[in-house]
Amino acid sequence: MAYTTITVPSGPTLYDDLERVASATGHSKKTLPFEELAEWLEDQADIISTKEVLARNEPTISIAPVRRELGLER
């Protein structure tokens, strides 16, 4: 896999926060932003997909009948 370097301008506060969170979570300052960016991008893709589905205005089904049909009623 080819890697690309991304440079993010940050002030001392952001860098200090990165150091603190990386230290507290056991992540490196190098991998933590990449992991968080990857998660954010996945969330954005989910939001886009959700908006596309909602834009189709298809009929919806309540979860209760689905649970009953699948035998998952609590």
Return the pLDDT at 58.
93
Q: What percent of the chain has pLDDT over 70?
A: 100
Q: What is the pTM of this model?
A: 0.66
pLDDT digits (tens, 9 = 90+) for 18-50: 999 999 999 999 899 999 999 999 999 999 999
Q: Of 18, 38, 17, 39, whose CA–CA distance to 29 is shortest?
A: 18
What per-residue confidence (pLDDT) applies to 72? 92
Q: Are 66 and 74 in contact (CB under 8 A)?
A: no
For position 69, what pLDDT does the model report? 92
- Rg (alpha carbons) of the chain, rounded to whole number: 21
